[in-house]
Amino acid sequence: GLDEMGEGKGTGFTVNLPLPSGTGDRQYARLYRELVEPIGMAFGPEIGLVSVGFDPHALDPLAGMNVSERGFAEMTDVCVEIADACCNGKAVFVLEGGYDLNAIAGSSADSSGCRFAARSCDSVMRTYPSRAAFMKKAIVRSASVLRSS
């Protein structure tokens, strides 16, 4: 809840932001820019660890929120800016959840691969016109790379 603020040296750096149903891009962006970013900068992490959940996507059947791919990209930008400023860009983004596969695929693409490799994004999306197909291919390839290492 709102009263959970962290413990010990982490006091003040645990922030819960309960939001009403229907909250969308504009409100999330404002919260991330006005609260999450300054708190993250003040904390000064050595590495950014981001648990990425796409549950607030407008297409997600459970959360009742209204965030789009662009909204997730904006939140990702804030996390990347914190990592750039505090820990030389070191950050790990781990996919956590969401219940609409197309929303997960589109949001993942907009927030990660296509944002970090903008020049190749158009050719990737031409090769895999379905975002779900693109993400499936990326996941299969990632698993293959992990198995071989």
When mean pLDDT is compared over 9-23, 35-49, 121-135, the highest value belongs to 35-49
Please give the pLDDT value at position 140.
53
Instruction: Express each pLDDT in 64-98 by its tens digit.
Output: 999 999 999 999 999 999 999 999 988 888 888 88
- Given a cut of 60, whether residue 55 has pLDDT beyond it is yes
Please give the pLDDT value at position 79.
92
Q: Mean pLDDT, to the nearest integer, of 101-121?
A: 66
Please give the pLDDT value at position 29.
95
Q: What is the Cα Rg of the chain in Å? A: 16
Q: Mean pLDDT, to the nearest integer, of 19-38?
A: 94
Q: Cα dihedral sign for 137, 141, 142, 143?
A: positive
Ramachandran quadrant class, 98 (left: phi over 0; alpha: psi -120 to 50; beta: rest): left
Confidence of residue 23 (pLDDT cuts 50, 70, 90): very high
